[in-house]
């Protein structure tokens, strides 16, 4: 970890000392994944309880192709009041877009399953349980902006543009032609049609292993803590499961994915039938993972090649999903041929 910039450090010191009445011992920068305009800092406190807090500083504008998102509050409070395992808020300054949050540690689900392979099934079952819990929530009072946002044609079109701009050229070794771009857009339109006809339930939207922190074994509370919440919206019931089980960073065996998805399907508020559930799972995999594949190459073009090792598995998810649903729709079949020939 590195030290925070002096301007941010001074700002955080003043805020923490004013609101928590504790002297700041050290401020370290936490890795933000390279894709966010947010900064995260671990603020260590001298002789205080808690011993540290996480400062979330939301500054600047989102990167290219990323739409602005609502602030963390009141969504975080809404989820906490509903019993969802999220970091507690210990203070902050809305005007300066700073939140002081519970420090739930640095161990992600990605880290934990590599260090504790025997615990993987239990951790993934708990992660699936939180998806079920999220989908049971509603907001009749209209407090939370997430319930007025949804995965729609605009968001899917952004994923298509990113895949055309960065993902497809990485496969082809050249810029995509207009006919190839049209092929991608048409296939993604097929996904939009399925989304529009699906039930809409609250989704985290980026429910992957790096956004689930894991408390130590034996912790009094549930082990997983959901972070990076602000992008939440309404989406088909399969969306968060796609993020979790078709994760860029942790590739699970197909049999385990099938077992977990069935375990969740039966407990969802809408309890989709198996065929509809499986088809939407694959359709959402295509758009989500095509965008993630593009992201790996976008970051490499900006000088961060650390994501490239994840690219083959990511496009592999897309190919496998297209193989299962391509016969359903000529637009999907065309995309399967295009990507298959280039992969």
pLDDT tens column, 43-56: 999 987 899 999 99
Output the pLDDT for position 137.
98
pLDDT more than 70, % of the chain = 93
Of 339, 343, 9, 327, residue with least CA distance to 183: 339
- Six token digits for residue 259: 């077992």
Q: What is the pLDDT of residue 28?
A: 94
Least confident of 283-287, 313-317, 338-342: 338-342
pLDDT, position 2:
57
Three-state SS annotation for 58-74:
ECCCCCCCCCCCCCCCC
Higher pLDDT, 90 or 68: 90
Q: Would you place residue 33 in the very low, low, confident or very high pLDDT band (cuts 50, 70, 90)? A: very low
Biggest alpha carbon–alpha carbon distance for the chain: 65
Check residue 3 and give its pLDDT.
57
Nearest to 135 by CA among 63, 56, 241, 64: 241
Q: Which candidate, 110, 90, 111, 76, places its Cα nearest to that of 43? A: 90
Please state, in angstroms and rounded to a whole number, the distance separating the CA atoms of residues 114 and 117: 6
Helix (H) or strand (E) holding 185: helix 178-197
Structural domains of the chain in order of their starting residue, each with its CATH number: 2-102 (3.30.200), 109-342 (3.90.1200.10)
State the pLDDT confidence band at 32, using cuts at 50, 70 and 90: low
What is the sign, positive or negative, of the torsion defined by CA atoms of 66, 334, 243, 151? positive
Whole-number mean pLDDT of the chain? 93
Q: What is the pLDDT of residue 157?
A: 97
Q: Write the Ramachandran bin of 225: left for phi over 0, alpha for psi from -120 to 50, otherwise beta.
A: beta
pTM score > 0.75 for this model? yes
Helix axes 254-265, 120-135, angle to 10 degrees: 30
pLDDT of 64 reads 61
Q: What is the pLDDT of residue 109?
A: 97
Q: What is the mean pLDDT of residues 19-45?
A: 84
Helix (H, G, I), strand (E, B) or coil at 242: helix
**Residue 281, pLDDT above cutoff 80:** yes
State how far the alpha carbon of 113 is from the alpha carbons of 118, 124, 213, 251, 341, in Å. 8, 9, 12, 11, 34
Q: What is the pLDDT of residue 240?
A: 98
The mean per-residue pLDDT over the stretch 231-256 comes to 97
Over the stretch 172-203, which tens digit does the pLDDT of each residue have? 999 999 999 999 999 999 999 999 999 999 99
State the pLDDT at residue 69: 82
pLDDT band, very low/low/confident/very high, at 60 (cuts 50, 70, 90): low
Crossing angle of helices 330-342/178-197, nearest 10°? 130
266 CB neighbour count, 10 Å cutoff: 12
């Amino acid at each position: 970890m590195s030290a925070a910039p002096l301007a941010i450090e001074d700002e955080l010191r003043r805020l923490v000392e004013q609101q928590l009445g504790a002297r700041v011992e050290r401020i370290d920068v936490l890795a933000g994944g390279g894709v966010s305009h947010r900064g995260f800092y671990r603020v260590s406190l001298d002789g205080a309880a808690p011993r540290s807090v996480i400062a979330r500083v939301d500054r600047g504008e989102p990167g290219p192709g990323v739409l602005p998102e609502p602030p963390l509050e009141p969504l975080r409070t809404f989820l906490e009041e509903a019993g969802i395992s999220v970091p507690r808020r210990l203070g902050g300054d809305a005007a300066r877009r700073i939140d002081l949050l519970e420090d739930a540690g640095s161990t992600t689900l990605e880290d934990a399953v590599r260090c504790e392979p025997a615990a993987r099934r239990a951790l993934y079952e708990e992660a699936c349980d939180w998806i079920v819990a999220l989908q049971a929530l509603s907001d009749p009072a209209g407090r939370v902006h997430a319930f007025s946002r949804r995965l729609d044609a605009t968001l899917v079109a952004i994923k298509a543009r990113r895949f055309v701009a960065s993902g497809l050229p990485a496969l082809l070794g050249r810029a995509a032609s207009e006919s190839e771009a049209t092929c991608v857009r048409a296939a993604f339109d097929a996904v939009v049609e399925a989304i529009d006809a699906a039930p809409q339930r609250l989704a985290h939207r980026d429910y992957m292993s790096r956004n689930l922190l894991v408390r130590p074994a034996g912790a009094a509370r549930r082990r997983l803590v959901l972070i990076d919440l602000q992008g939440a919206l309404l989406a088909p019931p399969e969306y968060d499961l796609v993020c979790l089980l078709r994760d860029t960073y942790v590739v699970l065996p197909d049999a385990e994915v099938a077992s977990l998805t069935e375990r969740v399907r039966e407990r969802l508020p809408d309890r989709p039938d198996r065929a509809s559930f499986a088809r939407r799972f694959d359709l959402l995999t295509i758009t989500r993972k095509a965008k993630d594949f593009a992201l790996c190459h976008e970051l490499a073009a900006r000088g961060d090649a650390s994501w490239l090792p994840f690219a083959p598995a990511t496009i592999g998810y897309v190919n496998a999903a297209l193989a299962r649903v391509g016969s359903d729709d000529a637009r999907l079949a065309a995309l399967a041929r295009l990507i298959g020939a280039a992969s």
